[in-house]
Chains A and B, each alone.
Chain A
């Protein structure tokens, strides 16, 4: 079971795994170059893993939350890579990847994961540990101002989303992985209905 994992909820992170073993991973941390990076990054990681696109059985994509424009680039790419290569596609909450990596190195604890949501807000979720290789999320994902997010008694982490972790979570989920590919936006589009007709004066 070969997996291509893609996440653009923060930077551009792409990994190739054989079962839960990471064969290759590339991470571009800048958060405004997803559309430029995505094609070459997928090609690069496949080359590093010495795999052809048809060798991929499953595409795993980070569903966010994350800044919308970048997030969509990865999901769009994952959808069409899956169609083009004949692989199946599943989605995982991007914040889960951070919790997964945290609990690899730390014992079970109450963990707060936050990422930048722009507009002086944070995307966040809390976790209590990992069972069978799957992070246990007890709240979230949600979006709030930093002052409205509870912190007492919670550990935090500097880790960032890694596609390799998403691939491992999806492998551990097996057939229970989510096949509906819908971005986790958590915010309505920023638009207000028309103001009525007075436009002069």
Chain B
């Protein structure tokens, strides 16, 4: 069954089901339409193929901490398949998202099946409305369940070229707005820190407003503010920090300064509800290439290795320039490599020789690879040969991906951890995902890749990391923390 938010085009199917399920007391089409369209309601429909098999609705007034289940229905022929439970789950999740602390509902006293379902969700009978259902004259049981109110956290990220503001309620993503200055860096072939910092300052207000709008919350509902204080570009970080501190003082809300790299790991919570630990995490972007051992997200994150020169994303950018392709290099090289052979040219795999593996088992180096590509191209030019762009691009990409995945997989094996999490913008690279999937499958390793919008730098991952800190009882940061461009991954909160 596919569940989605209902709209007015579903009305015919909903009304047909309504009349089947509630023979004597079905709502009129008019009432149903106004429920679907009301500002304070949330209705979902469940489809199997083109057939509506169930629907349900929730009402939650802004400012109120109570939500009501308005109705829920499952097609008679489709009962006992867990559809009703799935619809209840969607409605409950929305109630939590909207900040409800309790949910109420009424159920027919003679509908034991429905009552059983509600009990599974923690609902208890708190009262009776006599002869509530007419014309049948049946009593209604009023049922209620309490929800643990999850903190509403706003996260600000400005460590590189993305201004990100995200809003989460507990582990639930409400908004993730990103403004990138990537286009402004294109003619320079890489991120220019001053340009990035200027763009952050311009983006602050529009990104904040859009995030609040998307989440459907007001600033005064926010329970805590989170901000990246490193690692990253100092001047860029300071824009987010200055804004976050002033917002904290102005609203009187606590502030949490958190680690950008650990934030990338925490992004998995937004995709999957939690980060399964222990896990190995490979973070690859234009600024980082880091291999982490995460035994506990908040208490035990260890850096196994990182790049000793260029970050993987930077290597893509630089090689793209060598090949006459534009910035950013990752997608350009992916495109150019499409019909190329990954084995056409054997480019070097950095830090994989036995002597390097002693000191740099989990470190990376892409500078030599970049030079090797440049030499290959220049040598070909000097001989007057035509550049086999597709082959060079595919072979280069393979060399990068090969080292990244093999080192990550061997870390999984050495530490006996059957889990690998990917993060960072380079995860957008199709070949990296494909290669990691193949190798993890072969080795029996569970691979987790959050959606790309959560892999690139974003404020939601910062917010959800702070949300974990709050749940664990961490005290807020004091207002005097600084931007730490080389912040150690072991420092989750400053």
Interface residues, chain A, CB within 8 Å of chain B? 33-40, 42-43, 46, 53, 68-69, 72-85, 183, 185, 189-194, 196-201
Contacts and interface: CB of A to CB of B under 8 A. Distances in A.
Given A36-B481, A53-B249, A189-B192, A183 B201 contact: yes
Nearest to A42: B249
Contact of A75 (B201, B375, B378): B201
Given A39-B245, A199-B318, 12 more contacts: A38-B242, A42-B246, A68-B235, A76-B243, A77-B243, A79-B243, A83-B208, A83-B250, A84-B249, A84-B250, A185-B198, A194-B187
Contact of A190 (B187, B194, B201, B250): B194
Contacts of A191: 188, 192, 194-195
B241 A73 contact: yes
Contacts of A201: 375, 378
A84 B246 contact: yes
A80 B250 contact: yes
B252 interface: yes
6 contacts: A76-B204, A78-B246, A80-B204, A193-B189, A199-B370, A199-B374
A39 B479 CA distance: 6
Interface in B157-197: 187-189, 192, 194-195, 197
A158 to B, nearest CB: 28
Nearest to B483: A35
Contacts of A74: 242
B374 A198 contact: yes
Contacts of A72: 197-198, 200-201, 235, 238-239, 242
Interface in B5-58: none
Contact of A200 (B187, B238, B371): B371
A83 B482 contact: no
A54 B182 CA distance: 37
Contact of A39 (B234, B249, B322): B249
A192 B205 contact: no
Contacts of B251: 53, 84-85
Contacts of A68: 194, 197-198, 235
Interface string B399-421: 00000000000000000000000
A39 B374 contact: no
Contact of A76 (B192, B242, B318, B322): B242
Nearest to B208: A83
B178 to A, nearest CB: 17
Contacts of A83: 205, 208, 219, 247, 250
A69 B249 contact: no
A199 B322 contact: yes
Contacts of B324: 197
B49 to A, nearest CB: 47
Interface residues of B, number: 49
A198 B378 contact: yes
Contacts of A75: 201, 242
A81 B375 contact: no
Contacts of A46: 249
A36 B242 CA distance: 8
B312 to A, nearest CB: 17
Contacts of A77: 242-243, 245-246
B239 A76 contact: yes
Nearest to B240: A76
Contacts of B195: 189, 191
B244 interface: yes
B243 A80 contact: yes
B248 interface: yes
Contacts of A76: 200-201, 204, 238-240, 242-243, 246
Contacts of B243: 76-77, 79-80
B361 to A, nearest CB: 28
A192 B192 CA distance: 10
A128 B148 CA distance: 64
Contacts of A37: 480
Most-contacted residue by chain A among B249, B255, B321, B324 (CB, 10 A): B249
Nearest to A56: B250
Nearest to A75: B201
B204 A36 contact: no
A35 B194 contact: no
A102 to B, nearest CB: 29
B249 A197 contact: no
Interface in B289-343: 318, 321-324
Contacts of B481: 36
A28 B235 CA distance: 19
B189 A194 contact: yes
A34 B189 CA distance: 30
Contact of A73 (B194, B238, B247): B238
Q: Which 6 A-B pairs have the closest CB atoms?
A: A84-B250, A39-B245, A39-B479, A77-B246, A194-B189, A73-B242
Contacts of B245: 38-39, 42, 77
A33 B322 CA distance: 40
Contacts of B238: 34-35, 69, 72-73, 76
